[in-house]
Structure 1
């Protein structure tokens, strides 16, 4: 699995790899591959599962609902950024395969992201500050947060290690999340009013 991740990080997306190249990188004969995985698709799905299993472990240990909202944004950004750096190869694989992978792999990644959004929405529902927002709207907010975090992870993987650039990236990510939660504070799920579309002025006909 490590050999596949290294090849994805250095050269190509997973679907372009061959069993022989992975076996050569791992220093084993190709037939040894089948002792662990039925085929390349099985290896790819195992990598997807590993990526999200690590992420869920990190989020479970964090216990976000026990934190005050004010400190949640900074802590979340720093925690996630540290996790991405510690599991760089897994996240490089995930970012590439989210769009360039096989249909089955893209569907699996989408399913895991959707599950994370649902879990975050449930966590947000435990905050008193969000008690005025219904679960459907909380899921929409959670989707905004998860998409912002994914975008941050992409930039972390693209930026070379540099203290100044890293600080700027973290600050921007924190601001993005604060903007989302500032909007949440003004949102009212019970307000179903819609801003009326202004009518186009009628032009008087010439006589």
Structure 2
């Protein structure tokens, strides 16, 4: 194989994806966190600040991108959002390629991508793991977050691929509605299964 087996990890808001990503990392599997990459690119001294400032004047400063200010500029404006994505996505892709090169000797790597289905990232992975829990657990977790409201939660769900569709399209479903030990056991079994597939390929 010319590159490690790429497992795409995704899940709707509040489903526990970050917790599962950490479990993979603790088991020695390198994890590329797309959200963290964007935060680095847009943070203090981030390489995207000049381009974002040129496209959206007044939205950056010494602390990086002023996310609320930038959000106001692109929210509900498809052209502005497309302009921002045309700046951000190629830079994230570059970081992803660097990550693959850095971990070329590994058998498996994880791409942690929240909008894997929504943005077409599913086409660039070898298998997909969806993190899921019941809608009641999801709602409870999300509404416990600071500043979250039922209205905001509804808006986020509106733009995300429904959980049932994600599960139907997944190669693996990881249940986070159970204990952490049980979820970790599911992650271990998933890795064993992938390694069996690699051994027989």
TM-score by length of 2: 0.25
TM-score by length of 1: 0.25
Larger radius of gyration: 1
More strand, by proportion: 2
